[in-house]
């Protein structure tokens, strides 16, 4: 299933003010992998994700999604394969109602009204948001907005799901529901996150970015047990890997 494969080769990008976003990033993600992209603020995580569906164009290097090199000619095909969930759900919700937002993608793919209705109903049901379909997005809670933003992507049945800080601003219960939902998505997942406990829960592989460079790429548990690597990357062990004590008794 080559259409599920993501390849990045020697990707370099600098912002107009000269800030380096990426410096020679290379990796290959195959069908069905769940991969966490971690690093401190400014490491290049969001910059990397925005290259995967052509929102940013590299100064050097190449992105390949399945059989397609990412270029102007192939951009629409690539965006049909990759579903991008932005860090701020308000960036994806702009229609009068939740239904309209979730229907926007399928309508632009040329689906019939019946097919659109089915796609919307299935996507909202998957994220547990069917009851929100008539609500205006601006009146939703952050957790509800996050669920609907994910539904807008799922309605287009992407091969690859790309998410930027999906648990940001979520309460613990909503966060857990999101993690359980993401476990049901069996295709390729690429998740940029500061939530290292979520990375342990969802991702068997982790890529570490530091100052625009990939400094580690390997099994999540091994990566997140490397205290020296975490220290130099301004990261800490996830809570699930830290010893804790209650009234002085180690657990």
Between CA 95 and CA 121 the distance in angstroms is 17
9 SS3 class:
strand
Token look-up 């992105």 returns: 63
Averaged pLDDT, 190-211: 95
pLDDT for residue 127 = 87
* pLDDT at position 250 over 50: no
Q: Are 98 and 41 within 8 A, CB to CB?
A: no
pLDDT value at 36 more than 90: yes
Asked whether residue 112 carries a pLDDT value surpassing 70, the answer given is: yes
Q: For residue 76, what pLDDT band results from cuts at 50, 70 and 90?
A: confident
Architecture in CATH of 2-94+158-250: 3-Layer(aba) Sandwich (3.40)
b or e along 65-78 (b: 16 or more beta carbons within 10 Å of the residue's beta carbon)?
bbebebeeebeeeb
pLDDT, averaged across the chain: 90
| Count of C-beta atoms within a 10 Å radius of residue 88 | 15
Q: Measured at the alpha carbon of residue 84, what is the angle toward residues 79 and 87, in degrees to the nearest 5?
A: 150
Residue 113, burial from CB neighbour count under 10 angstroms (0-12, 13-18, 19+): exposed
The residue-averaged pLDDT of 191-202 equals 94
Residues, the chain, total? Answer: 251
Does the pLDDT value for residue 245 go beyond 70?
no
Yes or no: say if 206 and 199 are a contact pair by the CB < 8 Å rule: yes
Torsion of CA 13, 163, 138, 179, to 10 degrees: -160
What's the pLDDT at 246?
43
CA gap 219, 34 in Å, rounded: 11
Q: What's residue 248's pLDDT?
A: 44
pLDDT at 201 over 90: yes
Band the pLDDT of 247: cuts 50, 70, 90: very low
235 sits in the region (left: phi over 0; alpha: psi -120 to 50; else beta) called: beta
Q: Summarize the confidence of residues 193-221 as an average pLDDT.
A: 95
The pLDDT value given to residue 3: 57
The structural domains of the chain, with segments of one domain joined by +, span 2-94+158-250
Question: Is pTM beyond 0.75 here?
Answer: yes
How far is 151 from 85, CA to CA, in rounded Å? 9
22 or 247: which leads in pLDDT: 22
128-177 pLDDT, tens digit per residue, is 899 999 999 999 998 899 889 999 999 998 989 999 998 887 888 888 88
pLDDT at 181 over 90: no
């Amino acid at each position: 299933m080559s259409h599920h494969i993501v390849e990045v080769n020697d990707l370099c990008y600098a912002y107009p003010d000269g800030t380096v976003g990426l410096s020679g990033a290379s990796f290959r993600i195959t069908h069905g992998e769940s991969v966490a992209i971690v690093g401190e603020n400014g490491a290049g995580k969001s910059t990397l994700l925005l290259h995967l569906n052509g929102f940013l164009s590299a100064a050097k290097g190449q992105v390949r999604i399945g059989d397609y090199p990412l270029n102007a000619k192939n951009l629409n095909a690539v965006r049909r394969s990759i579903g991008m969930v932005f860090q701020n759900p308000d960036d994806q919700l702009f229609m009068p109602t939740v239904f309209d937002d979730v229907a926007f993608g399928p309508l632009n793919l040329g689906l019939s009204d019946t097919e659109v209705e089915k796609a919307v109903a299935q996507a909202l049901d998957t994220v547990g948001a069917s009851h929100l379909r008539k609500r205006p997005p601006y009146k939703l809670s952050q957790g509800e907005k996050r669920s609907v933003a994910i539904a807008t992507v799922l309605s287009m049945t992407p091969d690859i799901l790309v998410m930027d800080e999906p648990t940001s601003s979520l309460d613990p219960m909503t966060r857990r529901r999101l993690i359980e939902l993401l476990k049901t998505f069996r295709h390729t997942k690429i998740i940029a996150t500061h939530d290292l406990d979520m990375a342990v829960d969802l991702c068997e592989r982790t890529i570490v970015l530091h100052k625009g460079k990939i400094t580690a790429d390997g099994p999540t548990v091994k990566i997140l047990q490397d205290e020296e690597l975490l220290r130099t990357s301004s990261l800490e062990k996830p809570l699930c890997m830290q010893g804790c004590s209650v009234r002085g008794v180690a657990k």
